[in-house]
Structure formats: structure tokens, C-alpha cells
């Protein structure tokens, strides 16, 4: 299979989050089951900047991590039969390295390390101005697949 691009509207087929919680603008390159890369352009109009913080607007770390997890989701939900499936976070380990501020292009690179029985382990990096802003190892799941493998109680 070849990689492909998802526009802002095409992305919506594979990523169930919506405004104001969709943290991706475009997926520039996705190879289903392997990787997804794209970006979010940040303007002063982002809903969180007025509160976080009035004197020094910057993108909350939790939302940076969310952006990485959403992009990793796209790498999974673009696989056959998984379009539009809901994913849940299981476990994330993240490191923040610099502030992400209005005017930045937040580039998001994610890679699938393993995908098995509804559980995906992956890693992601957020980049602004050519420098790493955050990086994470993530565990996400498609619950409706995972639940098929759990003992009944």
C-alpha cells in the first residue's frame, strides 16, 4: 500500500474528534498501520490561548499530547475496516521541551511501533521551528476490538 494525504475535510472520516478538540489541521502523509505525519497551525484565535495564559499564551501540554495521540489514531484508523472507529488512551509517557506559542506551525510525526488485538503502541514527536517541542510514547486502543479479547467475569 502507498501512503497518501488527507485534507482537513478528508481527515474527518478517520479522526472522530471535532472542534474545538480536533488538534490536527492536515495529514500530509499517512501509511496505514505504519505512520502518520501532519500539522496544526496555531493562531491567536485558538480557544485556549486567552486563558492559557493571558500574559503568555502557549499551547497546553495536555493538548500537545492530544495532538500526537490524534495523529497516531489516524495511522490506525486508516487501516481497512477501521475508518471512524473511536480510540481511547491507555497510557502515555511524554516529555515537553519547549513552549508552543501563537504563530507556530506544530508539526506532528507519529509512528506505529506495534498494533495487535486493538492495542497500538506508538511514538510521536511535536516540532516547531525545526526543534522538538514534545515527544511521547503512547498506548492507545480501539475498545470495541480490545474487549473481544478480554476474559468474561
Partner 1 sequence: MSNREKYDNAFIESFEIKKEALNKGLEYQSIPQWDSVGHMSLVAALEDTFDIMMEMDDIVDFGSYETGIGTLKKYGVDVA
Of the ranges 4-12, 24-32, 69-77, 113-121, which one interacts with partner 1 (CB under 8 A)?
113-121
Neighbours of 21 (CB within 10 A): 11
3-class secondary structure, 56: coil
Active site residue 52: yes
User: What Cα–Cα distance (Å) separates residue 132 from each residue in 25, 64, 69, 82, 149?
Assistant: 19, 12, 16, 30, 37
In degrees rounded to 5, what are phi and psi of residue 60?
A: -55, 140
By CB under 8 A, residue 13 contacts partner 1: no
Site string for partner 1, 63-102 (x = CB under 8 A): ---------------------------xx-----------
Task: Provide the annotated active-site residues.
Answer: 52
- Using CB under 8 A as the criterion, which residues of the chain lie in contact with partner 1 when the complex forms? 90-91, 116-117, 119, 139, 141, 146-153
Amino acid at each position: 500500500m502507498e501512503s497518501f494525504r488527507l485534507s482537513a475535510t478528508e481527515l474527518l472520516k478517520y479522526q472522530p474528534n471535532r472542534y474545538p478538540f480536533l488538534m490536527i489541521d492536515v495529514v500530509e502523509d499517512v501509511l496505514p498501520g505504519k505512520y502518520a505525519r501532519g500539522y496544526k497551525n496555531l493562531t491567536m484565535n485558538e480557544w485556549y490561548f486567552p486563558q492559557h495564559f493571558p500574559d503568555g499564551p502557549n499551547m497546553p501540554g495536555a493538548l500537545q499530547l492530544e495532538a500526537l495521540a490524534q495523529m497516531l489514531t489516524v495511522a490506525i484508523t486508516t487501516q481497512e475496516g477501521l475508518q471512524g472507529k473511536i480510540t481511547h488512551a491507555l497510557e502515555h509517557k511524554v516529555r515537553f521541551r519547549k513552549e508552543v506559542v501563537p504563530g507556530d506551525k506544530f508539526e506532528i510525526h507519529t509512528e506505529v511501533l506495534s498494533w495487535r488485538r486493538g492495542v497500538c503502541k506508538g511514538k510521536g514527536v511535536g516540532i516547531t521551528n525545526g526543534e522538538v517541542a514534545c515527544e511521547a510514547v503512547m498506548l492507545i486502543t480501539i475498545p470495541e476490538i480490545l474487549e473481544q479479547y478480554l476474559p468474561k467475569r
